[in-house]
Amino acid sequence: MATRRPWYAVLYVQVLVAIVLGSLVGHFFPKTGIALKPLGDGFVALIKMMIAPVIFCIVVSGIASVRDMKKVGRVGLKTLIYFEIMSTLALVVGMLVAHVVQPGVGLNIDPATLDPKIISTYVPQSGEYGFVTRLLTIIPDTFVGGFVHGDVLQVLLLAILTGFAISQLGAFGEGITRAVGAAGKVFFGIIRMITKAAPVGAFGAIGFTVGKYSIASLSNLVYLIGTFYLTALLFVLLGLGLVAWLAGFSILRFIVFIKDELLIVLGTSSSETVLPAMMQKLERLGIPPTTVGLVFPTGYSFNTDGTNIYLTLCVLFLAQATNTHLTWAEELRVLLFAMIASKGASGVSGTGFVTLAGILSVVPQIPIQVLALLLGIDKFMSECRALTNVVGNGVATIVVSRWEGELKKETVRDALAHAASQPPRTAGDDGA
């Protein structure tokens, strides 16, 4: 029987305490809170440093060890189908909620009073969101380009190609597979050491956010933030909850299972900080490394449910706030363009705001300078985007594995129930 650790040694408790302390420091000592920014930036940078090698090792060793190469293609196809369905649903949900709640009605903002220079750095270049452009960016300039720039999709492409190549080398390839697997264990060991600093990173990131943007600065935009958070919560509990139920597991138990990772995301506003740990936890549910490696990292670019809800909700909010009427045809154009623009977005805080600027570029009726309305509150909305994205991609990985017949629903239920009954994990535990 496992010994229960002191409450102060539990990772999620440490992160939660750090978030509270960081908020207090940022609120009562704003200058000190702003000065804490390097702590959060440093933690995120440390995690991002390890993402590329971890994904590469997991996917390469997973594919190289699979004898049926058709299975890899089959899993990839099912993954893309699921992603397209759920990401489109999230975009539609954002639009429907905006029509029902109408968070921007009554603001009567005059775009002429807003300075366009404020958002000039966020406005994308022409053609940046084209479908062909998106596909071409998956191919790195050099073999190590994906590692240098930390591009998840580029690293994933290299890993898939490398895995296929090694699988055709026979006995020699088996030796390479074992070596890559051993390297992956080393990288995960480094991740576990870095994760111990999660409370420090959360403390710095939250302190900076509250110190710089302050709760008081939200004013009448609180309604939009509340609408977004409630919509995302309902999407997770009802939308993803239904999907999870059909797959044979409880969404609430899954959320409890990944609570450590969700608190880290809450503190850092970035879903990338938990990518390696989430992949390891999903494997603990019994999902093969090949499926985890193909589905979960790909979701960071193709299945950003939280970001998608944010995009369409905010476009219509800005239209309502400026009394801009959009026809159904124009809203359909927004939806179709968002389906493309939302692909390729990473889990880094602020990416959603840049993507939103790209979508507005195809809606000339809404002046681009009205984005300045959201600039001050985007940081507060990024946490919800990241949290929803992580939960959505975790559910997607389980669903695809169940769809593929690799995982029985009894196995998932037992694993989640067992995890819920276990003593809280500490900052030094594996998979934290």
Instruction: CATH number for 7-421: choose from 1.10.357.10, 1.10.3860.10, 3.30.70.1560, 3.40.30.10.
Output: 1.10.3860.10
Sign of CA pseudo-dihedral 177, 180, 186, 188: negative
Instruction: Locate 338 and state its tokens.
Output: 């968002």
Has residue 35 got a pLDDT over 80? yes
Q: When comparing pLDDT for 236 and 104, which is higher?
A: 236
Q: When comparing pLDDT for 235 and 77, which is higher?
A: 235
Residue 160's closest CA among 66, 286, 83, 81? 66
Has residue 292 got a pLDDT over 50? yes
Distance CA 51, CA 139 (A): 18
Give the residue-averaged pLDDT of 52-81: 79
Category of 119 on φ-ψ map: left (φ > 0), alpha (ψ -120 to 50) or beta: alpha
Q: When comparing pLDDT for 111 and 338, which is higher?
A: 338
Say what the pLDDT of residue 82 is. 93
Say what the pLDDT of residue 22 is. 87
Has residue 30 got a pLDDT over 50? yes
Q: Which of 188-197, 340-349, 369-378 has the lowest mean pLDDT?
A: 340-349
Has residue 125 got a pLDDT over 70? no
Give the residue-averaged pLDDT of 296-314: 87
Q: When comparing pLDDT for 396 and 55, which is higher?
A: 396
Name the average pLDDT for the chain.
Answer: 80
Q: Which of 51-55, 94-98, 374-378 has the lowest mean pLDDT?
A: 374-378
In percent, the amount of the chain with pLDDT more than 70 equals 83
Distance CA 357, CA 373 (A): 12
Distance CA 44, CA 66 (A): 33
pTM of the model: 0.76
Structure confidence at residue 238 as a pLDDT band (50, 70, 90): very high
Say what the pLDDT of residue 420 is. 58
How many residues comprise the chain? 432
Say what the pLDDT of residue 114 is. 59
Q: Which of 17-26, 400-409, 412-421 has the lowest mean pLDDT?
A: 412-421
- The domain segmentation of the chain, as residue ranges, is 7-421
Say what the pLDDT of residue 233 is. 94
Question: H/E/C letters for each residue in the chain?
Answer: CCCCCCHHHEHHHHHHHHHHHHHHHHHHCHHHHHHCHHHHHHHHHHHHHHHHHHHHHHHHHHHHCCCCHHHHHHHHHHHHHHHHHHHHHHHHHHHHHHHHHCCCCCCCCCHHHCCHHHHHHHCCCCCCCCHHHHHHCCCCCCCCHHHHHCCHHHHHHHHHHHHHHHHCCHHHHHHHHHHHHHHHHHHHHHHHHHHCCHHHHHHHHHHHHHHHHCHHHHHHHHHHHHHHHHHHHHHHHHHHHHHHHHHCCCHHHHHHHCHHHHHHHHHHCCHHHHHHHHHHHHHHCCCCHHHHHHHHHHHHHHCCHHHHHHHHHHHHHHHHHCCCCCCHHHHHHHHHHHHHHCCCCCCCCCHHHHHHHHHHCCCCCCCHHHHHHHHCCHHHHHHHHHHHHHHHHHHHHHHHHHHCCCCCHHHHHHHHHHHHHCCCCECCCCCC
